[in-house]
Each structure stands twice: as structure tokens, then as C-alpha cells.
Structure 1
Amino acid sequence: MFQPLFDATDPTFRALASDHKAPTVEPLPISPWVAMSAMQKGIRRGDVELALSAAMTLLRSDPAKLWRRLAGIVVEDVGLANLDCVALVLAGTLGKTFRQSFGGEWPVASLLVKQACLSKKCRAADDLLIALSHHHELNDLRGALAREDLSEHLSRVAGRGALLGASLAALHASGVRWEGHVTSKAADAKAVFAAMREAGVQHAIVSLAERGFRRTREALPVLLPLLTLALPSGELSISDDKFPPVVIGRNGLPTYFLDGFSWEGKAALARFLKRDTITGRWFRKHVRAEARLAVLHGGVFRVEGGLVRQRVRWPAATTLRKLADRGFHQMKLPEPTAFLDMIRADLPTIDEERSYVR
């Protein structure tokens, strides 16, 4: 299905590196937190220039954040759409000695960022995590599995149980921290990946996910192998998401990468919540004060921040995206899509607040 791992002797990596000319790029006048968001949004949208400028910003200000975030991004946003690209980035983020053999930090960083930008995308693993973490209709399942022990979790994974239950079991058994949830005290990540092999997941994919988990200690590599069991064979359709108009802020940069993961983005969203808008009034009436910023951030992400170019379309991924759209806020809403439409309609006002950021 794909080359399981790239390393320093792999001809694929060597060929890409020999053909790649590292571009001359100037860093952006933004904080490392905004730069991480800008790099990820640039990769999602296939904006090579923006993603490279943000990567250079991180390389100059905080190299550790660059390599750690790249490893996370490739699993979150490329995922099953291009496992070769996932393997390439995980190899390139291996360490400075490895990168030195291919020309140094910037030649490798620019190669990885460009490959991720140009790649097909699949965000099914992230949509699955959001649904598992927040959808109110999964409260009973979350509670039941939280009481199970390690052997029961591993049995669900190895037995190829239903995707949602097996995925929750894998998260608990791995010991990973995920979306504020507490995992089982008795955890064995190695046993989880062994159970996935027993379930019939291709060994090379499990090995790749295991490496991603060791590198990032994040939840998404744990979920990736289980998703392959729902992946249909044959060619899958690919198309771009529908993007809202791009707004350029006073600093000359797009506003869409200012989100709740940076204090600049949080400040802009907080200012918006105080304005007299349909969304602001709805939030003040229906959402408790301490949760408003997080729920708004999640909504803005669903209508704008998580959009990608070259999205691979397949049935389970579409279902998971709908589950995440309807459940990220943890609320039981009569019309979940209307909630996102409300935020979408007020996006120009949100952009007004984000455009003030310098």
C-alpha cells in the first residue's frame, strides 16, 4: 500500500532531497503560537508560500515547536489520504543528525512543508476524535468504556468492534491524554498496537502509527490504524472544500489563522463575543460564560479553520465530519447545522476583530 517508513538510506527520501532547492524565505512578524497556526492552515489550504514563511518563523524562534507541530499536522491533516507523506514527515522530524545528512534544518523543513501542502488531505482521524470527545449522544458509551479494564479495551480493539467503541477503547488503553478525558490508570500502548495487528490492520500502517505516537504522544496516531478498517478499496473522489473569502488584516496577513490556540486569536474572538451580533446574543443566552470562548473557537474551526484543499471523500469520513460538526459543542441542539450557519453568517464581523491584530 505504501513504503512503511523512510530513513536515511531510503532512495525515495534521497531523491526528493536531491531534487529540492530550499527557497529563500523571510520569517513573519508573528508569535510562535500564531506561526504554528499559520503553518497548519497554509498546509490545509495548499498555500505553500504562507506555510513556508510560517515554518521559517518557527525555525528562527522555536525550532522544537516546528518539528513537533509538523509531526502532528501530517497525521491530523494528511492522514490516510497519503501515508507516504506521513512517513516522509515523521522521518524528517526524526532529529538534527538525520536532517544534517540531507542539507540541514531549512532544506528538510521546506521539503516537508511543501510535500504536505501539495498532498491530498484526510481529516477523518481528527473528526473521529472530536466526536468521541464531545458528542452528547456518546455520553453513555464514554461512561461505560471508562469503567472497563485494560483487557476489555484490548479485546474490543482486537475483535474489530464498532469503530466508535474500538476507538474509545484504544484511547483508554494507550494512556494518551485526549481532549480533557482521563484514560485508564492501567495502560499499555504497545499492547494496543499489537491488538490492532491482531484485528487485521496492515502491519506497516500500525508501525507507522506507533512511530507517530512515540513522536507526538497525541491521540490521533492511535486512531489512524482503526480508520483503515472502514476505508473502501479503489479510487476515492477528491475535491476542495468551499472556502469563505480571505480577509487580509492590518498586518498584511490573512485573518483565518487567528484562532483559539493563540492569545491573539483568543482576544479577537473574545471581543467579538461582546458585540451586538446574532451569534453574540445567542451565546450570551444559551452558553455559560466560562464556555463561550471555547465553543466559539470550535465553531469557527468547523466553518473555516478545518477546511482543506484536495479532501479525499469516502463514506465513513463524511459521517465522522457530520458527527464532529453536530457534536463539538457538547450541546443538544434542535438544529445543529443552523448553529454553524449562524457563526458562518457572522464571520465578516469576526474578521473585523481579527483584522486589528498586528
Structure 2
Amino acid sequence: MDEPELLPRSPLPCLLRDFEEPDCAPLDCTPWTAMSALQKSIRRGRTQIALAAASTLLTQSPERLWRRLACIAFEDIGLGDVEVTALTTAAIGGKRVRATLGGEWKVASFLITRMANATKCRAADDLLLVAENHPTFESQRLQLGFSMIPDLLRIVASTDPLPVRALAAWFALGTDRRPSPRLARRHGDIASLFAAVREILPPELVEIAWEGHRRSGEVLPIFMALLAPQLRHELTSVHDDEVPVEIMVGPIPGWCLDVYTRPGRASLATLIEGSTETARWVRAHIPPRQRVQFLGTIIFRLEGQSSQRRLRWPIADELRRAVDYECNGAHCRDATEILRLARADLGELNAIRTELMEVSSHDS
């Protein structure tokens, strides 16, 4: 299929013309911590921290900045603000594109400011997690991995449950470029999938999804497009998520230290070895090698995904509920109790984070 040229029709050049670049000093942290701070600050509408994290990445690892912004566009903004999602997709085309728009920092700071203030929709990411992990769809994960492309495309266009259609689209797209431990690895037929969804989905969203997948290799763009017709018939509202008490750990909030950062993993491991109710529950229910990752996922449910201006609608709310409570692995079929315990122990986790960061600062 022909690749649509998104940038020539994008309003991005006009919008950037009058945008004044902010001055922003980098954070004193690793690229991994900066990536966490960038994404979580955008979710929470914390523009200054997000800009500082972006400045860090642009200095230390610019390719990580653009990959992360591409991810954030579909994981956290999506249908909440389709224009911002499209603008970001247009801007990740490469250095030469951004040079014509005023340079790396001008484009990045503009996009981050827009993203932090945008309405957020995490439904595409929640759909991915339900399709990949929910026990209800275990048989479909096995069966669809061996289905022929025409059969997968028929399911994508069917009235089957949304996670089943998402799985069919995922296998049709191919699971070899971004492998999942829960799905059979196989080649897809990208052109056939997008030709099929053009027949059933809004063309402008299919165009954005095509560009988003082509440039990032991620499956979330097509999931966003699959969700769009569902949103059209739903009552929506916009609300801020309730967020736990925040503390600063050096130059960053404690919630930046997640399971994908070294100090975040160390903090979780220390908590698990302690005497809190959370620690006792995790040691009683979760095998040793899985404990840090499991608890990191639970902490993400409580603080990492918290969003300012989240788009609320029934399907998105149900997907989020299923992810929070029912997609945490074979050793935790219902996360109600561990979520309650971990929420009560977030203060202890933050104290551990603070102590570890102080030790690290003294050692360096």
C-alpha cells in the first residue's frame, strides 16, 4: 500500500512558528530514570519535570527521547487528543524533518508541553494488557497464533469481544518485531491488515495508526484505531485520577523510580525483604524470581499510571478495571488485597527510595 505523507498536511509547521522554546536545565539522573520521569510527568500534567527529563535525554540519548515520545503518543494520549497524537507522529520522522521545523529542542519542548496539557486516554494500552494477559482470553491467544491471515482479518472486522479482535489484529500485524512472551511469534501481513481496517475504521485514524506503526513498530496505534468506533457511541467525561501523596527524591518525584530503573528495582527488593503487610503478602504468594517485577506492576497500578485529565468512558473504564485487578499473573487472580496493602505502604516505599538515592548520591 502507499505510505501516506502525514507531515505535508500537518499543522505542526504553523503551530511551531510562534512557539518560544523554554529554557530548561537537564536533570541529574540516568537516561532510564529520565525516560520514566518524562512519561509519568506527561501523564500527571507536570510540564516542567517532563521538559527537564526531555532535556536530559536530548543531551545523553536523543534517540531514546523520540522513541519514548512516539510511545507516549499512543499509550497515554491516543483518543484523548487525536491532534496531539498526530502531531507527535508527524514529528518522529527523523532529524531532517525536525530540522526544518526549528530543531530538536523546539519540536520536543512544543510536543511535550502539548502532551502534558492534553486529555489523556490509556485505553489502547489497557486493551493490549487485557489481550495479552487476561485469563479469559488464554484459548484465543493460543488458537489465533496459528490462524491464517484471512481468518484473522475476518475476526478483526467481526463483532467478537474487543480483546479478541485486538489479538487477531496483533497476529495479523506480526508478533516477531515486538515479541511477547505470551504470544506465539510469527510474521504478519501489515499491508493486508491496514487495507482491511480501512474498510471499517475512520480513514484519518487509520492513517495516523499506519504512520505510528511504521515509525515506531508498536502495536498500540492499531489498537487506538480499533477503539475509535466504540468511543463514538459512548458518553464521555474528563477527570483527574486520584494520586497518592508525593515526595521529592533528589530532583525528581519518588514515582519516577519505577521497576524499569535501577534504584526503583532496588527499592522494591528492599521493601519485599521488610516487615510490611505488602512484603508479607508478596513473599507468601509470589515465587522469589517474580517478586520484584510483580510488585513493580502493582505499584505502577497505584502511582505510575496516574493521569491528569483522563478521558473516562465505559469501555475504557472496564479495560482499566480488568488490567488493575485481573491481569497480574497466575499467582494473583484478584489483586484487590495487594493493591490495598501496597497503597497503605507507599510511604514506606518512598522512605526506602529516599534512603537509596541519598546513599547513591554520597557514593558518587
TM range (shorter): over 0.9
Q: CA deviation at 1:53?
A: 0.2
Q: How does 1:213-292 map to 2 (within 5 A)?
A: 213-233=213-233, 236-249=236-249, 251-292=250-291
- Describe the superposition over 1:120-162 as per-residue Cα deviations: whole angstroms up to 9, x where unpaired: 0000011111111122232223223223222211111133432
Shift of 1:252: 3.4
CA spacing shift, 1:264–1:179, aligned 2, 3 Å = farther
Task: State the match for 2:165 in structure 1.
Answer: 166
**Whole-angstrom CA distance in 2 between matches of 1:9 and 1:170:** 28
- Say if 1:150 and 1:186, in contact at 8 Å, map to a contact too: no
Distance 2:335 2:132 in 1: 17
**Gap change, CA 1:194 and 1:183, over 3 Å in 2:** farther
Q: Tell me how far 1:334 sits from its aligned partner.
A: 6.8
CA distance in 2, matches of 1:184, 1:348: 41
Q: Against the structure 1 CA distance between its residues 331 and 93, is the aligned structure 2 distance closer, same or farther, given a 3 Å change threshold?
A: same
Q: Is the 8 A contact 1:33 1:261 kept in 2?
A: yes
For 1:164 and 1:102, locate their aligned partners in 2 and report how far apart those are by CA, in whole Å: 39
Q: Residue in 2 aligned with 1:295?
A: 294
The alignment's C-alpha RMSD in Å is 1.8
Which deviates more, 258-267 or 42-51?
Answer: 258-267
**2:129·2:327 contact (CA, 8 Å) conserved in 1?**
yes
Which residue is equivalent to 2:24?
A: 25
Q: Which residue identity does 1:194 align to in structure 2?
A: A
C-alpha separation in 1, matches of 2:71 and 2:333 = 34
Q: Distance in 1 between matches of 2:337 and 2:49?
A: 32
CA shift for structure 1 position 302? 0.5
Give percent identity, aligned residues only: 36
Quote the Cα distance in structure 2 between the aligned partners of 1:210 and 1:352: 44
Between the aligned partners of 1:136 and 1:80, the Cα distance in structure 2 is 27
Per the alignment, in what secondary structure is the counterpart of residue 256 of structure 1? helix
Q: 1:327 to 1:5 in 2, by over 3 A?
A: farther
Partners of 1:173 and 1:8 in 2: how far apart? 29
SS at match of 2:206: helix
- Alignment of 1:188 with 2:177, yes or no, is no
One-letter amino acid matched to 1:337: T
CA 1:39/1:131 → structure 2, altered by over 3 Å: closer, same or farther? same
Alignment-derived partner of residue 209 in structure 1: 209
Deviations 1:52-79 (A, max 9, x none): 0000000000000001110111110001
Deviations, residues 233-262 of structure 1 (Å, cap 9, x unaligned)? 47721010001111111x232110111112
Deviation string for 1:162-215 (max 9, x for gaps)? 2111101111111133542344524112211222122x1011111111111111
Q: Is residue 115 of structure 1 aligned with residue 114 of structure 2?
A: yes
Distance 1:348 1:95 in 2: 42
- AA in 2 matched with 1:219: V
Supply the distance in 2 between the matched residues of 1:18 and 1:243 (Cα, whole angstroms): 36
User: Is the 2:234–2:313 Cα contact (8 Å) retained in structure 1?
Assistant: no
Distance (Å, rounded) in 2 between the aligned partners of 1:197 and 1:156? 15
Contact 2:281 2:338 in 1 (8 A): no
Contact 1:175 1:183 in 2 (8 A): no
Residue type of the alignment partner of 2:198:
R
Unmatched 5+ stretches in structure 1: none
How high is the TM-score relative to the length of structure 2?
A: 0.92
Change (3 A) 1:211 1:331: same
CA deviation map 1:87-115 (0-9, x unaligned): 10111111111111121111111001111
Deviation for aligned residue 1:9: 6.0
Unaligned runs of 5+ in 2: none
The answer (yes or no) to whether the contact 1:153–1:172 under 8 Å persists in 2 is: yes
Secondary structure (helix, strand or coil) at the match of 1:331 reads coil
Letter in 1 for 2:302: V
Once residues 185 and 135 of structure 1 are traced to their aligned partners in structure 2, the CA distance between those partners, rounded to angstroms, is 21
Other-structure match for 1:68:
67
| Structure 1 residue 156 corresponds to structure 2 residue 155 | yes
Q: 1:185 & 1:333 partners in 2: Cα distance?
A: 29
Asked if structure 2 preserves the Cα contact closer than 8 Å seen for 1:76 and 1:125, the reply is yes
Q: Is the 8 A contact 1:213 1:221 kept in 2?
A: yes
In 1, are the aligned partners of 2:259 and 2:265 still within 8 Å (CA)?
A: yes
Q: Equivalent residue for 2:140?
A: 141
Q: Report the Cα distance in structure 2 between the residues aligned to 1:281 and 1:235, rounded to whole angstroms.
A: 42
